[in-house]
């Protein structure tokens, strides 16, 4: 039995900084990683996909260069070079994370699979063939989530793609069919369309982005249509079949009508599930919800004292920055006797379609449901000077404001640099700055930020 002060399971965006912080504070710490240090964000999520989004954006801009008076008669997507660039960026981030762990005193990095045998004991099946038992007073679970493979007839007969395996393609698909219209599906749809693939997206719900306001869904759907991406909603996929010439036939029920689609590749983007099935939680007092997410209190402690869950595995918003904030909450409370809580914290996020969708706070729909006394400020990007000058006029800015206090309750920005503009409004919300103060603030001309003057001018 190897004894530690702390054991961290999983080296994601909460686990890695937490393990280092604890070790640097004098705790004898072990971090267990079954696959790749850095977790989904570094290896299969944010880092590789945003590198690819950048390449796809350049292809898009080259294709419409004539709009800005530049003649590019022909260009090619060198997909091998695109993927090599992505791989190099991932390697740099991954190797940096590994070095950071290996160079930290009091910290042991172990590659293997961890399974609870009781509340504070783990059986470690090492990737090198070793088998050991570890124990610690404090254990932190940061195992994340993995793609859901829907139970559809024929799914195991086809060579489907997930958000992980699609990052290793060696050529652009001739026709990519995506099952699922969430954030992951939408980002890959636009990306591969810009690389030259025909893209069809099938969404089970009645519209894309069900957590956003209707006008947000409408504008995103419109620019997908403009980009030549086929989007079908209220579609239930019922069957997959391999057919001749390396083609896949997809059968689906579309509002009661049976349709078939023939494609070269299928991406399953039907959501993600917590990686808790093989943790041996049945040997502990740790409780999960019906979907398998570990239940925690506002301080991220599970139903077992001194055992915590951080990041996507606990449910809630599945974002890298939330995972990192979980680390901040736990480390501050344990090491500095803090009282930080995840209750009522702000949850900003950005979807990296082009133009970006940045969100903070409540939507107009939520304001209506809560029966708040509110007003909405809205400004089309086509009325933003910087957007006109750069030829990036798709989308809009929208803010929900408390009518009495004039505080900003939430904002949605769909536009070039939408996430950055959203972050300005987040800071305003944190600082209790009223919309009127922003309305008359001097911003440098002609930044996108300057258009916040005009956004709140609409409330005059």
Interatomic CA distance for residues 306 and 249, integer angstroms: 51
Interatomic CA distance for residues 329 and 331, integer angstroms: 6
- Where in the chain do CATH 3.30.390.30 domains reside? 355-457
Given pLDDT bands bounded at 50, 70 and 90, which one contains residue 458? very high
State the fold for domain 2-146+273-336.
FAD/NAD(P)-binding domain (3.50.50)
Torsion of the alpha carbons at 175, 180, 184 and 189, rounded to the nearest 10? 30
| Displacement of CA 318 from its chain's centroid (Å) | 6
Q: What is the pLDDT of residues 343-375, one digit of tens each?
A: 999 999 999 999 999 999 999 999 999 999 999
Average pLDDT, the chain: 96
- Where in the chain do CATH 3.50.50.60 domains reside? 2-146+273-336, 155-270
Stretch 262-276: mean pLDDT, rounded?
Answer: 96
In CATH, the number for domain 155-270 is 3.50.50.60
- Tell me if the domain spanning 355-457 has CATH number 3.40.50.1820: no
Please say if the pLDDT value at position 443 is more than 90: yes
Query: What is the edge-to-edge ordering of all strands in the sheet holding 408-415?
Result: 349-351, 356-361, 408-415, 396-402, 374-380
Known catalytic residues are: 445
Query: What pLDDT is recorded for position 63?
Result: 94
| Displacement of CA 457 from its chain's centroid (Å) | 33
Query: What pLDDT is recorded for position 195?
Result: 98
Given pLDDT bands bounded at 50, 70 and 90, which one contains residue 244? confident
């Amino acid at each position: 039995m190897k004894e530690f002060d702390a054991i961290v399971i999983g080296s994601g965006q909460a686990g890695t900084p937490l393990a280092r912080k604890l070790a640097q504070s004098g705790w004898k710490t072990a971090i267990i990683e079954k696959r790749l240090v850095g977790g989904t964000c570094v290896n299969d999520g944010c880092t590789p996909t945003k590198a690819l989004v950048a390449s796809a954006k350049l292809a898009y801009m080259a294709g419409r260069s004539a709009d800005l008076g530049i003649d590019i008669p022909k260009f090619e997507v060198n997909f091998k070079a695109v993927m090599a660039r992505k791989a190099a960026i991932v390697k740099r981030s991954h190797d940096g994370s590994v070095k950071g762990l290996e160079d930290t005193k009091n910290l042991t990095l172990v590659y293997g699979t961890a399974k609870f045998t009781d509340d504070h004991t783990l059986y470690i099946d090492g990737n090198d063939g070793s088998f050991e038992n570890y124990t610690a007073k404090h254990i932190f679970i940061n195992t994340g989530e993995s793609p859901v493979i829907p139970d559809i007839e024929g799914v195991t007969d086809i060579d489907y793609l997930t958000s992980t395996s699609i990052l290793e393609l060696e050529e652009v698909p001739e026709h990519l069919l995506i099952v699922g219209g969430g954030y992951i599906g939408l980002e890959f749809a636009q990306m591969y369309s810009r690389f030259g693939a025909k893209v069809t997206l099938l969404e089970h719900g009645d519209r894309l982005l069900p957590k956003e306001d209707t006008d947000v869904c409408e504008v995103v759907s419109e620019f997908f249509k403009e980009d030549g991406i086929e989007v079908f909603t209220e579609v239930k996929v019922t069957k997959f079949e391999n057919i001749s010439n390396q083609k896949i036939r997809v059968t689906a029920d579309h509002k009661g009508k049976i349709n078939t689609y023939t494609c070269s590749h299928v991406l399953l983007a039907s959501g993600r599930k917590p990686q808790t099935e093989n943790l041996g939680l049945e040997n502990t007092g740790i409780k999960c919800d019906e979907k398998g997410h570990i239940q925690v209190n506002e301080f991220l402690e599970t139903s077992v004292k001194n055992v915590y869950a951080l990041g996507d595995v606990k449910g809630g918003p599945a974002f890298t920055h939330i995972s990192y904030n979980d680390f901040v909450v736990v480390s501050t409370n344990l090491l500095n006797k803090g009282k930080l809580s995840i209750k009522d914290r702000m949850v900003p996020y950005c979807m990296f379609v082009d133009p970006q969708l940045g969100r903070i706070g409540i939507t107009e729909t939520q304001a209506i449901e809560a029966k708040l006394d509110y007003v909405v400020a809205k400004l089309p990007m086509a009325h933003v000077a910087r957007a006109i000058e750069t030829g990036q006029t798709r989308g809009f800015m929208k803010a929900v404001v408390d009518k009495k206090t004039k505080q900003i309750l939430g904002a949605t920005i769909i536009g070039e640099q939408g996430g950055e503009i959203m972050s300005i409004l987040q800071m305003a919300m944190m600082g209790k700055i009223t919309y009127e103060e922003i309305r008359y603030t001097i911003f440098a001309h002609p930044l996108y930020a300057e258009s916040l003057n005009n956004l709140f001018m609409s409330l005059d």
